[in-house]
Amino acid sequence: MNASWSADAEFQLTEIWRSIARDNPEAAGQLNRMIDDAVESIALFPRMGKQGSSPGTREFVVRQNYCVVYKILQDRVFIVSVMHASRRWPLVES
């Protein structure tokens, strides 16, 4: 299966990278690679993540603090969100 990203997930990944890179660009790059590797694994084995908190989603924890939220579609895995594990999911509008 292929993986595709929502605009929100791409933005979240960029913001995570920026936040970490301010203090440690090397760590930001390592985390980015870990998330990319996780998404590649998810594309190969879509059911590897646990059932998600939001209906129709699955969640895969990357390096204990970051979570990739995705949906399994007919022809691809769709990355819905990438967030710090302490964030509440599904995201609640205030």
| Mean pLDDT of each 10-residue bin along the chain, 94 residues long | 96 95 96 96 96 93 91 96 74 44
Decide if 56 is inside a domain: yes
Of 59, 66, 60, 57, whose CA–CA distance to 85 is shortest? Answer: 66
pLDDT of residue 49: 94
pLDDT of residue 90: 58
Decide if 91 is inside a domain: no
pLDDT of residue 94: 38
pLDDT of residue 64: 76
Decide if 57 is inside a domain: yes
- The CATH number assigned to the domain holding 64 equals 3.30.2310.20
Decide if 90 is inside a domain: no
Q: Per the structure, how many domains does the chain have?
A: 1
The string of DSSP letters for 12-60 reads HHHHHHHHHHTT-HHHHHHHHHHHHHHHHHHHHSGGGSEEPSSTT-EEE
Decide if 47 is inside a domain: yes
pLDDT of residue 11: 96
pLDDT of residue 74: 92
Where in the sequence is the domain holding 68, given as residue range(s)?
A: 2-84
